[in-house]
């Protein structure tokens, strides 16, 4: 079993290691850096960054402790999922084995059903949506670094400016991009960093993961 664990050398690097000596029996190893992905566990959906991957395993960086789960699904931004099992954990890094062999080249070049969509988490939590003339309660149904989808009884126009805030969401300004019945898609004026996005997801679903 080869659980990839080599540290990447640069943000642009994507390389295959030569197989020699003790590595002759191991699967070819590839390095991926800053490849955001979604780790689906029993406790919810969490942000991770794929660091190394081979045909048999993958290592990721987290922004908090590893959630507890018998198995996980690793979902790429394009929607492709891989079932994995935890093998090791060191600080905010963890190694997993795939439950079935994967084609590394396909994983690296994954486009999937939504090739241009950013990483989205299926988070559900209440917010308040305000304009200059009204304020109403709403429910976020999914969240990304760039925007959100929420349901609300209020009526907002396309391109209308909104203020959004919640218990775990400091006030953000957003603009309506689409509307279908009582569902709205908005884009934030200022995007979240990946780390802030990851920690927000942990606070909403499993705050104990952030404890030292």
7: confidence class by pLDDT, cuts 50, 70, 90: very low
Q: DSSP state, 42?
A: T
Q: Are residues 198 and 140 in the same domain?
A: yes
Please say which residue of 66, 84, 108 terminates a domain: 108
Say if 8 falls within a structural domain: no
User: Is residue 2 a part of any domain in this protein?
Assistant: no
Same domain, 66 and 128: no
pLDDT tens digit sequence for 12-58: 333 333 333 344 345 556 655 568 999 999 999 999 999 988 888 99
* 3-class SS of residue 162: strand
Query: Averaged over 116-120, what is the pLDDT?
Result: 76
Domain count, the chain: 2
Angle at 171 between CA 167 and CA 175, to 5 degrees: 125
pLDDT at 194 over 80: yes
Domain boundary among 82, 108, 134: 108
Is residue 150 one of the residues assigned to a domain?
yes
Q: Are residues 63 and 127 in the same domain?
A: no
Q: 13 lies in a domain?
A: no
Query: What is the separation, in whole angstroms, between the first and last Cα of the chain?
Result: 31
Higher pLDDT residue, 113 or 170? 170
CB count, 10 Å around CB of 138?
20
Q: Answer yes or no: is pLDDT of 140 > 70.
A: yes
For residues 97 and 140, membership in a common domain is answered with no
CB 108 within 8 A of CB 30: yes
Residues 148, 69 share a domain:
no
The domain in which residue 187 lies consists of 120-207
The H or E element that residue 59 is part of is strand 57-61
Q: Are residues 162 and 196 in the same domain?
A: yes
- Is residue 147 assigned to a domain? yes
Are 89 and 126 part of one and the same domain? no
Q: Are residues 88 and 132 in the same domain?
A: no
Tell me which of 63 and 27 has the higher pLDDT: 63
Q: Are residues 94 and 150 in the same domain?
A: no
Quick one: 146 and 81 in the same domain?
no
- Bridge partners (DSSP) of residue 36 are 49
Instruction: Supply the CATH number for residue 191's domain.
Output: 2.40.10.220
Between the CA of residue 205 and those of 30, 86, 88, 194, 200, what are the distances in Å? 32, 20, 23, 17, 9
- What is the distance between the alpha carbons of residues 84 and 11, in angstroms, rounded to a whole number? 25
- The overall longest dimension of the chain from CA atoms, in Å, is 71
Tokens encoding 192: 């979240």
Average pLDDT, the chain: 84
The pLDDT value recorded for residue 146 is 94
63 and 131 within one domain? no
Domain boundary among 68, 85, 108: 108
Domain membership of residue 51 (yes or no) is: yes
Query: C-alpha distances in angstroms, 47 versus 8, 168, 203?
Result: 19, 16, 12
Question: Is residue 12, in this structure, part of any structural domain at all?
Answer: no
In a domain, 11, yes or no: no
Verify that 135 and 90 share a domain, yes or no.
no
């Amino acid at each position: 079993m080869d659980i990839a664990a080599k540290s990447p050398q640069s943000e642009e690097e994507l390389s295959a290691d030569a197989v020699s000596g003790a590595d002759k029996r191991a699967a070819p190893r590839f390095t991926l850096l800053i490849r955001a992905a979604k780790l689906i566990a029993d406790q919810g959906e969490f942000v991770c960054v794929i660091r190394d991957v081979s045909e048999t395993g993958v290592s990721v960086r987290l922004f908090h402790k590893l959630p507890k789960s018998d198995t996980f699904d690793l979902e790429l931004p394009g929607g492709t999922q891989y079932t994995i099992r935890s093998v090791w954990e060191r600080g905010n890094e963890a190694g997993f084995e795939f439950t079935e062999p994967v084609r590394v080249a396909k994983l690296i070049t994954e486009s999937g059903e939504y090739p241009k969509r950013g990483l989205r988490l299926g988070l559900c939590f209440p917010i308040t949506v305000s304009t200059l003339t009204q304020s109403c309660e709403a429910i976020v149904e999914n969240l990304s670094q760039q925007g959100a989808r929420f349901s609300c009884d209020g009526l907002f126009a396309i391109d209308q400016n909104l203020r959004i805030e919640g218990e775990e969401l400091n006030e953000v300004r957003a603009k309506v991009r689409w509307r279908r019945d009582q569902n709205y898609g908005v884009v934030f004026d200022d995007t979240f960093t990946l780390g802030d996005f990851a920690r927000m997801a942990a606070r909403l679903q499993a705050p104990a993961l952030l404890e030292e």
